[in-house]
Amino acid sequence: MKAIVTTGNGGPEVLAISEVPAPQPGPGEVLIDVIAAGINRADVQQRRGFYPPPPGASPILGLEVSGRIAAFGTNVTKPFSVGQKVVALLTGGGYAAQVCVPAGQVLPLPEGIDVISAAGLPEVAATVHSNLFMTAQLQPGETVLIHGGAGGIGAMAIQLAKAAGARVIATAGSDEKVAMLTSYLGADAAVNYRTEDFGDRVNEFTEGQGANVILDVVGAKYLARNVAALATYGRLVVIGLQGGATAELDLGALLTKRAAIIGTTLRARPVEEKTAIMEGVREHVWPLIASGAIKPMVDKTFPLEQVAAAHEYFDSGAHVGKVLLTL
């Protein structure tokens, strides 16, 4: 089958299309004919050699797809049918014509969404639902600070938090993106992190109380400022390390606020945890998408053969929402 392979670690130029053996579904797995695949920051980090796949996972990039069910392994109990359009959360293997995935990580498309756009939903919906609600326990009326609001995760996080009755402050890297966060996605306030101090804006917006929850994709670079921006009993959830992995922390500031720092990843979780997360997505997120309360954001699509160009565009940071590959 056709798939994207990496010829080494580095920039988009290491991505090449090749013929590889087709996967065969094992017990409890579903075989999917891929129609589209989402590009995520984890793919870029793996391409660069900084984020190897977990043991036993496919070395092919790609953590989310949409497509049609082609076949089943044994012991699949979920009510799927061959030919049904679905989305799937993967541990790897999405940049390919076919992929095998545990049935618990597969969901039918939400109503009203075309099959290509749906490819950009599984990873961001699972990441946001699991971290904002299952982990941070975000409550109506609380204030959440979302870093990287113009990316796929940020755009979903803003909308889900607003739908849950939270107040949202989000950051982005240009005035145009900042305007989009409030006018289109519904953030209550937005900050250009290149020209403003997000801590000052949080302090102003909350009248000195701080953010109850912070969803952070930056990591070390923002650690001290994030803790300073937390409210008493605040929860900082770190889900990315774009700004580095190591930083000093004033534990006194953390103790004074009786706050918590939580680090999570989604990719390496066991199937049972991912199944529970995807069930939560089906129950809580899919109805919001079907009703139009959540608007999936697709910036650009590229044919699989143009994967290098797609990664170049993703790396540029110009995108707003998801970048997808189509087969």
What is the CATH number for 65? 3.90.180.10
Q: What is the CATH number of the domain that holds 159?
A: 3.40.50.720
* Count of domains forming the chain: 2
What percentage of the chain reaches a pLDDT higher than 90? 93
Q: What pLDDT sits at residue 243?
A: 84
Say whether both 258 and 280 belong to one domain: no
Tens digit of each residue's pLDDT (9 = 90 or more) over 135-155 = 999 999 999 999 999 999 999
Q: Is the pLDDT of residue 306 over 90?
A: yes
Give the domain-ending residue among 263, 286, 314: 263
Q: Is the pLDDT of residue 279 over 90?
A: yes
Mean pLDDT over 153-174 rounds to 97
Domain that holds residue 205: 125-263
Say whether both 146 and 197 belong to one domain: yes
Say whether both 130 and 234 belong to one domain: yes
Give the domain-ending residue among 232, 263, 294: 263
Q: Is the pLDDT of residue 213 over 90?
A: yes
Say whether both 132 and 203 belong to one domain: yes
Local structure of residue 264 (DSSP, 8 states)? -
Say whether both 189 and 218 belong to one domain: yes
Say whether both 227 and 153 belong to one domain: yes
Q: What pLDDT sits at residue 241?
A: 86
Say if residues 99 and 122 touch (Cβ distance below 8 Å).
Answer: no
The Cα 124–Cα 113 span in angstroms is 15
Mean pLDDT over 157-179 rounds to 96
Q: Is the pLDDT of residue 166 over 90?
A: yes
Amino acid identity, position 112 = G
- The contacts of residue 263 (CB under 8 Å, 6+ apart) are 237, 238, 239
Say whether both 79 and 9 belong to one domain: yes
Q: Is the pLDDT of residue 276 over 90?
A: yes
Say whether both 206 and 251 belong to one domain: yes
Say whether both 164 and 196 belong to one domain: yes
Say whether both 237 and 310 belong to one domain: no
Give the domain-ending residue among 234, 263, 292: 263
Mean pLDDT over 244-258 rounds to 92
Q: What pLDDT sits at residue 68?
A: 98
How high is the mean pLDDT of the chain?
96
Residue with tokens 């020209």: 195
104 Cα distance to chain centroid: 18
Say whether both 141 and 258 belong to one domain: yes
Q: What is residue 153's three-state secondary structure?
A: helix
Say if residues 91 and 54 touch (Cβ distance below 8 Å).
Answer: yes
Q: Which residues of 111-122 are buried (b: 16+ CB within 10 A; e: fewer)?
A: eebebbbbbbbb
Say whether both 108 and 135 belong to one domain: no
Tens digit of each residue's pLDDT (9 = 90 or more) over 27-81 = 999 999 999 999 999 999 999 999 999 999 999 999 999 999 999 999 998 889 9
The tokens for 241 are: 């390390």
